[in-house]
Structure 1
Amino acid sequence: MSMVYELKVTLKDVGVPVWRKIQVDSHTSFYDLHLILQTCFDWLDSHLHHFDVRKTNGKKVENVLIEPPDDGEDDFGFFGSVESFDEQEETVEKWLKQVNDKVIYTYDFGDNWEHEIVLLKKVSKEVQVEYPRCIGAKNLAPEEDSRGEVIMGQVDLEYPNAKALIKEINLDLKEIDFDQDSAQTSEPDYWKELLLKSKEFHKLSPWRIMTDDMIFAIEDPVSEELLFCSVMGQAGEMFGLAVYIGEEGYRSLLRTTQGENTMSLIVQMRSITLNFEDREELEKEEYTLIKTYDVPFRGRKSWPSYRSYQPGFYPWLMDNEEARLMLLAVEQAIEVFKEIEAGMRLPDFLDEDVVCAKVPYEKNGGIAFDNEFILLENYGNEASHSVELAVSELEVKRAAKLKKVEASIEFVVEYIDMPLQEEEGQRPIFPLLALAVDHQAGLIIHQSVIPEKRTPEVVQGELLKFFQSIGGIPGNLMIDEQTVQLLGALKQKLNLSIQTDNYYSMAKEAIEEMQSMSPF
């Protein structure tokens, strides 16, 4: 089953940050990735190239090349044993398995243009979105055969209009003539089966004996992520199933149990939900979906409503990949319900730090599931994941030259409840607001609205912009723990003094006041 891989591709050693953030089908061959990169960086495909695998499945490797079919030429620049693989046969998902896995794409062995390719995340396909696509870009790539001019500093690659650059790249990507035999495959349609299983789930009414704090998990056979499931309905108000996806979803589930406010949950949540509603409560597209597959529903609180929650995005109808996950969740929720009816006890995942999980295994050429108790110690703990430097060394060096400023400044980067929709029918986003408040003066001294997801790259970049705007680095920075985690290596690089607790959040109070005045 294919997913979408989000990659950051950085052109190295050209004087300024030049990168592209792209999304490709996980089945994409490295030959097709070569075509995509040629397009994204405006190369002419007039020189040789190869891919050098540096990190796969979380482990560093050496002397592994993915290259065009053997033409009888020797490999230059490598000594000792080199493993070589055909780029037309190798796929992205085979080598980029874990976040931060890395491959170097080298184009033109004379000018030696090296592109660092890093896997940022695996995401579900979105309905009516064409892949590959570019979702982020910074600055222009140099022209062919211009290494000398770049070294001499005679090439200006600065390009401030990122939106125009992304639009141009995506138009060019649509023109690529991919080999029809390559793995640009379409996914099966899961919706009819999901509707039928949802109907069976509703008929069983598992909320009769299951409460929403009886959490169980399912290991997805495709992504190997855990899906944390909660049956809703015993309170008699909302009936259905909530599914929290992976580590990000697990953190959402914990915030839910801790009583975090609704808006904060919605903008950060990674989950999908099945709710049973009255007919008149359905959105138009939900009713159309049900009628398209001709699966009959009738009665109060019996019509299925499917919702997707992703950090930074407005709640929306699930896409096809999320329908696959929900189908898996509903199927296994039915099995768990039957086992509980037969006397099985689920552990308290909060008090016991353990979850009962349905784990897949092969059986008679198919997949079956068995129960396994999984220890959740440190699962989903962001502090256990090291965050690398996500800005250029040049930007860090510029900031390091700034003087220290005697001030206590609170700095936050938070989603705000002011959804933006660029095009009709497109899923709206919750933009980020970067805000800096001088605690001694009680004044907002920096603010910036960013239509992006909260990533290390965005948070680190906005902090450096703030430093440049005031011409210095505050002696005391007051930053919440979640934002500090995204600063990662930047904190050490600049030797920042950061306070994470025991202060009154003026910034968050200002954000709440701004949102209360919003017309949305």
Structure 2
Amino acid sequence: MQPTREQWIALYEAASAFKDQASWEWLTNGHIFGIENPVDGGLGYISILGNGGEAFGLSVYLGTEGIRVLMDMLNGEVEEDPLFTQHCLLMALNDREDLYPEERKKIKELGLTFRGKKAWPAFLYYEPGFVPSPELSGAQAEFLTLALRQTMALAGEFRNKPDELFHDDPTKILVRCPSDEGQAWTNEWRSLPELPEEESNEQVAIRVDELRLARMKKTITSREAVWEIDCSYVPIPLMEGERGVFPKLMMLVDQTSGQILKAALSNRREIVQETVDSLLAVMESLTVIPSRIEALTEEAFRYVGPLLQYFEIEAYLTTELPALEEAKDSMMAGLIANRK
């Protein structure tokens, strides 16, 4: 359900008050804390933007998936562009000319006005694999309003002691918790959710014909090949229903010749099965089981891990894959040209 007029007005007013407080003057995006949603008990993890003097606003990273990406960004361990992987609500303070026409129209319809640079609130919902959307639900607008208000309260409390937001134990984080049905709020230290390093966001069942695998292992004897593999988002949105999605591109390249053995576009849920099917199909058509497969990130290996183990294929992570990167650049150029 879309936000009501009253919910939109409350959200814009909270964003304006956040701008006036300017808490980025004493808090950085590394002063992370949590806010508990009194409606469902879910946690939003707050990162304040503006200390660097460029982008101003507030991000609310949602749940375990959200905090995982946030911590990876802070630690410099991001494999994919956060545009594709963030799960968060964003309030950004923009210049008027940077707003979408529909955002300016909404502000006018609400009878609101803002003046000056970096003073016009804009709101976006980021969901992994989807194009960021300015269309919030009523529940999202309520929680973002609450997050702005509670951030201002906590920022004021820690104005003269900002580093007390850091615990000696790096697994602890301060969380604003509602009491008395949300009428009063307290702070308490909680443990961060466990963030398994090798957990994949793609929780799907992979379909593999075991008889097919056994037949391939028995009949294909050639191992004279080294292949390179990659699975990554493509910054060219496609429509899936009413929402824009970022597809993933799977590429399999022969390291010696640079030949593209297989390339396929799929959404984030189907790319796992697509990668498995593609690897098996190429092995069958070429009657080759590679001795080694190399990749730039662990993601593809998580998809095809059972196949690597079954066929005893060595897996190597590396920082450079010239053949694959050249092929990917060529493929991307073609996709962009076709889109024009």
Under a length normalisation based on structure 1, what TM-score does the superposition of the two structures give? 0.55
CA drift at 1:189: 6.8
1:382 Cα offset (Å):
4.5
Distance in 2 of aligned mates of 1:201 and 1:502:
44
Aligned residues: 327
Cα deviation, 1:462-495, whole Å, max 9, x if unaligned, reads 2223312330643423343233334576666x46
Match of 1:172 in 2: none
Q: Are 2:119 and 1:302 equivalent residues in the alignment?
A: yes
Q: Which residue type is aligned with residue 276 of structure 2?
A: L
**Alignment partner, residue 447 of structure 1:** 263
1:459 is matched with which residue: 272, 281, 297? 272
Residues 210-262 of structure 1, C-alpha deviations (whole Å, 9 max, x = no match): 12221112233345443221111123222211222222222322343345789
Alignment partner, residue 337 of structure 1: 155
* Selected match of 2:315 from 467, 492, 499: 499
Is 2:144 the partner of 1:322? no
Quickly say closer, same or farther: Cα 1:268–1:396, change in 2 above 3 A: farther
Structure 2: 5+ residue stretches without partners: none
Deviation at 1:446, TM superposition (A): 0.7
| Cα distance in 1 for residues equivalent to 2:329 and 2:73 | 20
Residues in 2 aligned to 1:516 and 1:499: alpha-carbon distance in whole angstroms = 29
Equivalent residue, structure 1, for 2:56: 239
Displacement after TM superposition at 1:436 (Å) = 0.5
Q: Deviations over 1:395-450 (max 9, x none)?
A: 34433432355122222221112222367xx4322111111112233221111112
Provide the rounded CA distance (Å) in 2 between the counterparts of 1:487 and 1:322.
36
Q: Structure 1 pair 349/297, CA: closer, same or farther in 2 (3 Å)? A: farther
- 2:198 pairs with one of 380, 383, 389: 383
Matches within 5 A, 1:57-68: none
Does residue 134 of structure 2 align to residue 312 of structure 1? Answer: no
Q: Give % identity.
A: 28
Task: Report how far residue 190 of structure 1 moved.
Answer: 3.1
Counterpart of 2:244 in structure 1 is 428
Which letter maps to 1:354? K
Distance 2:203 2:92 in 1: 39
Is contact 1:308-1:315 (8 Å) kept? yes
What is the one-letter code of the residue matched to 2:176? K
Q: Structure 1, unaligned stretches of length 5 or more?
A: 1-124, 128-185
> Within 5 A, what are the aligned runs for 1:132-147?
none
Q: Calculate the TM-score normalised by the size of structure 2.
A: 0.81
**Kept after mapping to 1: 8 A contact 2:26/2:162:** no
What CA distance in whole angstroms lies between the structure 1 residues aligned with 2:110 and 2:210?
A: 55
CA deviation profile, 1:274-323 (whole Å, cap 9, x unmatched): 11112222111111222233233223221101122222222221421432
Amino acid at match of 1:420: L
Equivalent in 207, 215, 220 of residue 401 of structure 1: 215
- Picking from 404, 414, 423, the partner of 2:232 is 414
Change over 3 Å in CA distance of 1:385–1:276 after alignment to 2: closer
Matches within 5 A, 1:3-82: none
Give the AA of the match of 2:142.
R
Alpha-carbon contact 1:272-1:318 (below 8 Å) kept: no
- Contact between 1:478 and 1:500, CA under 8 Å: does it hold in 2? yes
Q: Is the 8 A contact 1:271 1:308 kept in 2?
A: yes
Q: Judging changes above 3 Å, is the alpha-carbon distance between structure 1 residues 366 and 245 closer, same or farther for their aligned structure 2 residues?
A: closer
How many angstroms does 1:196 deviate by?
A: 1.6
The equivalent residue for 1:78 is none
Q: Deviations over 1:88-124 (max 9, x none)?
A: xxxxxxxxxxxxxxxxxxxxxxxxxxxxxxxxxxxxx
User: Which is bigger in relative contact order (C-alpha 8 A, separation at least 6)?
Assistant: 2
The residue number in structure 2 matching 1:278 is 95
1:339 to partner: Cα distance: 1.0
Distance 2:127 2:201 in 1: 23
Which residue of 2 is the match for residue 359 of structure 1? 177
Cα deviation, residue 342, structure 1:
5.4
**Bigger radius of gyration:** 1
CA distance in 1, matches of 2:94, 2:122: 7
DSSP-derived class of the 2:89 partner: strand
1:48-127 map, 5 Å: none
Equivalent position amino acid for 1:254 in 2: M
Superposed displacement of residue 194, structure 1: 1.0
* CA distance in 2: counterparts of 1:202 and 1:501, whole angstroms: 44
Query: What amino acid is the match of 1:399?
Result: L
Q: Is the 8 A contact 2:231 2:251 kept in 1?
A: yes
CA distance in 2, matches of 1:386, 1:274: 25
* Structure 2 SS opposite 1:231: strand
- Matched residue SS, 1:356: strand
Q: Say if 1:387 and 1:488, in contact at 8 Å, map to a contact too.
A: no
What is the distance in 2 between the residues matched to 1:509 and 1:483?
A: 18
SS of the equivalent of 1:218 reads strand
Question: Match for 1:299: what amino acid?
Answer: G
Q: Which residue of 2 aligns with 1:229?
A: 46
Cα displacement (A) at 1:263: 7.4
Mark the CA change 1:383 to 1:262 in structure 2 (over 3 Å): closer, same or farther: closer
Alpha carbons of 1:386 and 1:473: their partners in 2 closer, same or farther (altered >3 Å)?
Answer: farther
Name the structure 2 match of 1:468: 281
Q: Distance in 2 between matches of 1:193 and 1:280?
A: 23
Cα displacement (A) at 1:187: 8.9
Show the counterpart of 2:23.
Answer: 206
Query: Is the CA contact 1:417–1:515 (under 8 Å) kept in the aligned structure 2?
Result: no
Call closer, same or farther: CA 1:513–1:340 in 2, change over 3 Å.
farther
